[in-house]
Structure 1
């Protein structure tokens, strides 16, 4: 379900759909239904599972750390400076991966240096 999530800039609607699908699976694992009226936090606590949006954010930041530690001439780093010429559709600009990383860092009160430094 989370394959390739390191590269997803997720919108709130998509995040909510992921959390809904996750909770349906967790309820199925526990043998509960929505009619049992058991809170999501209770089910997560019983199974010892973190929220999927936190796991997606963790994976994104882990990948960001890998990318930052690579050599500047590496292919994965050169994509960061790639300029793509396209005609943008009307409306709000799409959320880029870099902007999503910046938002994740703000939410967790971290700096780019803290992500780049890997503790051995």
Structure 2
């Protein structure tokens, strides 16, 4: 998800922004996945990135010995989720059912390539295409 977003916004497109991920797909992302996406927000210049509190987060907190924090978050869930009808400066919609894995680079994290186009893009740009160990 963040690799696609980086391709859309570029390395400076999120500068000074707070990136808020929301929608029905959020409930299908693991907590570690959400953490990775938020951490990589720095690659697009975001001030911070966040997801709304959901059941997975509560389960994760309990599984990692932080049940008291989960209980507090659940009691205040309305403060940890988007307000209905909240305005956004920009809205990017990504259909997760059609999103294919991406590889970003080389040279910059906003050069996003869907896996299906990576080989052709590499050949066209003259990048090495042989992988060796």
Into which bin does the TM-score normalised by the smaller protein fall?
A: under 0.3
Q: Which has the higher contact order (CA 8 A, sep 6+)?
A: 1
TM-score by length of 1: 0.23
The structure with the largest helix share of the pair is 1
Q: Normalising by structure 2, report the TM-score.
A: 0.22
